[in-house]
């Protein structure tokens, strides 16, 4: 078996012990004589997985009792629609921070449903930082306030959470959920696609405060309504059973590593090694984003020329480091280093970077 260091932004590397467990349990799930993906989603075997996965979200994030975990199809992107449809009343408005490509997509969908007030726009600065909470003037009558905790493409991350008072804060945590402890009670709704820090693609996880489930500002078809999923414990229809099973195993792994404080320490360590290597390179590797809100999950950098970047990415791939090409919209290099990336992956990459600079500096 040969596994390389996978720095893809998503789908992304998962913990090897989880992949091995899935392999071992795939064909005959715990003596049932069938795979879990062949079993009824209303049967005992799956029910246990479903309930345990929800329980692990509650436990690891420390969710208060008035929050519900929902498992839905459609990844994070379906939530760009569901959030305004379920939370934004006719004639009402919501506040948005426009911090990068993902916020922009969420905002575009919200605009089709109602009024959006952009309270901070990083477009002109080319998304080189998250705003400081002191820069925001929020509408106390907004239906909700939307932010993106980590901009996966730009490589920036909120470090200090704003305070939106009584207005529910809604946050896309797709690319940093479970990478650090979160003050959950500050948020009305947290959502994430699974394929960065949680498991396989396709699953959307929604953590919602109960009072928001009942907002119901307009008639909706069943699947689009949070109430449908909350009332049926996410078993209204067939849930994405395979991703949910994988997520359960990933969360068990997170718990065994020491939970979110341990994940945060590892994330700081991994990203610190990479940012440190850039700082030590005398400007050869240059991080384009401002230091205060650099991401611990998606580390971006440039080389002196685009030709050198191409060469770097090609030679890195040949040396066993895949997925280092920056997003096509911004170019450059990016290492996505989610929970499953071992520290050795980073120390090896840093060695490679030094060697590349020595040869091509
Ligand atoms: C990847 C990503 C998404 C999109 O997730 P899908 O599951 O593909 O819908 C949304 N927001 C952020 C911040 C992401 O990183």
Please report the atom of ligand 1 found closest to the CA of residue 173.
Answer: 13
pLDDT confidence of residue 2: 82
Pick the last residue of a domain from 229, 256, 283.
Answer: 256
List b or e across 11-28, with b for residues whose CB sees 16 or more CB atoms inside 10 angstroms: ebbbbeebbeebeeeeee
> In terms of domains, do 246 and 291 share one?
no
How large is the angle between the packed helices 259-279 and 241-257, nearest 10 degrees? 80
CA distance 113 to 73: 21
> In terms of domains, do 203 and 344 share one?
no
Decide if 44 is catalytic: no
> In terms of domains, do 198 and 296 share one?
no
Q: Count up the domains in the chain and report the number.
A: 2
Task: Note the residue count of the chain.
Answer: 361
> In terms of domains, do 263 and 232 share one?
no
Q: Name the nearest CA neighbour of 98 among 43, 151, 176.
A: 151
> In terms of domains, do 157 and 29 share one?
yes
Decide if 47 is catalytic: no
* Residue 236 Cα to chain centre, angstroms: 25
Q: For every one of its 361 residues, what pLDDT tens digit does the chain have, with 9 covering 90 and above?
A: 689 999 999 999 999 999 999 999 999 999 999 999 999 999 999 999 999 999 999 999 999 999 999 999 999 999 999 999 999 999 999 999 999 999 999 999 999 999 999 999 999 999 999 999 999 999 999 999 999 999 999 999 999 999 999 999 999 999 999 999 999 999 999 999 999 999 999 999 999 999 999 999 999 999 999 999 999 999 999 999 999 999 999 999 999 999 999 999 999 999 999 999 999 999 999 999 999 999 999 999 999 999 999 999 999 999 999 999 999 999 999 999 999 999 999 999 999 999 999 999 9
Distance 80 CA to ligand 1 centre (A): 10
Decide if 245 is catalytic: no
Ligand 1 mutation pick, 175, 192, 200, max ligand atoms within 8 A of CB:
175
Please report the atom of ligand 1 found closest to the CA of residue 194.
Answer: 7
Annotated catalytic residue within 95, 109, 172, 176: 172
> In terms of domains, do 21 and 132 share one?
yes
Put simply, whether the predicted model's pTM sits higher than 0.85 gets the answer yes
Question: Does 3 map to a domain?
Answer: no
> In terms of domains, do 42 and 105 share one?
yes
List b or e across 186-202, with b for residues whose CB sees 16 or more CB atoms inside 10 angstroms: ebbbbbbbbbbbbbbeb
Residue 190: its H or E element:
strand 187-193
Please report the atom of ligand 1 found closest to the CA of residue 153.
Answer: 15
**CATH, residue 283:** 3.90.1150.10
């Amino acid at each position: 078996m040969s596994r390389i260091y996978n720095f893809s932004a998503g789908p992304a590397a998962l913990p090897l012990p989880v992949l091995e467990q899935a392999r071992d349990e795939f064909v005959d799930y715990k003596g049932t004589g069938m795979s879990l993906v062949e079993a009824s989603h209303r049967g005992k075997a799956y029910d246990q997985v479903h309930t345990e996965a929800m329980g692990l979200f509650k436990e690891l994030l420390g969710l208060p009792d008035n929050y519900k975990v929902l498992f839905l199809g459609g990844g994070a992107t379906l939530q760009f629609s569901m959030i305004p449809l379920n939370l934004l009343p006719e004639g009402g408005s919501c506040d948005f921070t426009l911090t990068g490509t993902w916020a922009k997509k969420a905002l575009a969908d919200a605009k089709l449903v109602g009024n959006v007030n952009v309270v901070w726009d990083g477009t002109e600065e080319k998304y080189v930082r998250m705003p400081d909470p002191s820069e925001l003037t929020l509408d106390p009558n907004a239906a909700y306030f939307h932010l993106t905790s980590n901009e996966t493409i730009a490589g920036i991350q909120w470090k200090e959470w704003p305070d939106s008072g009584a207005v529910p804060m809604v946050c896309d945590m797709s690319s940093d959920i479970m990478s650090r402890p979160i003050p959950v009670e500050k948020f009305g709704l947290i959502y994430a696609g699974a394929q960065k820090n949680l498991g396989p693609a396709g699953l959307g996880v929604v953590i919602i405060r109960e009072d928001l489930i009942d907002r119901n500002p307009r008639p909706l078809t069943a699947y689009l309504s949070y109430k449908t999923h909350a009332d049926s414990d996410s078993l209204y229809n067939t849930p994405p059973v395979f991703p949910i099973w994988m997520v359960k195993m990933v969360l068990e792994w997170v718990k065994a590593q020491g939970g979110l404080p341990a994940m945060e320490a590892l994330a700081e360590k991994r990203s610190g090694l990479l940012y440190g290597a850039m700082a030590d390179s005398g400007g050869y590797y240059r991080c384009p984003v401002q230091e205060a809100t650099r991401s611990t999950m998606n580390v971006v950098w440039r080389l002196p020329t685009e030709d050198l970047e191409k060469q770097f990415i090609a030679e890195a791939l040949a040396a066993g480091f895949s997925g280092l090409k920056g997003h096509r919209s911004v170019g450059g290099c990016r290492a996505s280093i989610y929970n499953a990336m071992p520290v050795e992956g980073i120390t090896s990459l840093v060695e490679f970077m030094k060697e590349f600079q020595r040869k091509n500096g």
